[in-house]
Amino acid sequence: MKTSKKLLRILQVEPLEGYHVRVFLTNGEERVLDLRPHLRGPLFRDILLDSHRFRQVQIEHGTLSWPTGEDLDPDVLLGTDIARRVMDVISGEAI
């Protein structure tokens, strides 16, 4: 029988300079993440153009989000197994 792993989520966030954030995770880790590569498209345009808006990042259900509704999936940001499986499917590899 396969055991399920608990999903890794973000407990706390601290905005830093240059679109970086320090995150504190449910497994006790602390990481600094560069969000710039993930802030693409029209949804994130205002956040990229206004550092004050970027600094309004908050946590909602273990996910990075902003008061205006934008969010970033923690599985993608943190490189968990789920993110790797999704990337394998996107790149055409079998799971």
Strands (E), the chain: 10-15, 20-25, 30-34, 58-60, 63-65, 71-72
- What would the two tokens of residue 43 be? 């949804």
pLDDT digits (tens, 9 = 90+) for 13-53: 999 999 999 999 999 999 999 999 999 999 999 999 999 99
Instruction: Report H helices in 10-80.
Output: 45-49, 51-54, 74-78
The backbone torsions φ and ψ at residue 48, rounded to the nearest 5 degrees and listed phi first, read -70, -35
The Cα 47–Cα 56 span in angstroms is 9
Higher pLDDT pick, 62 / 5 = 62
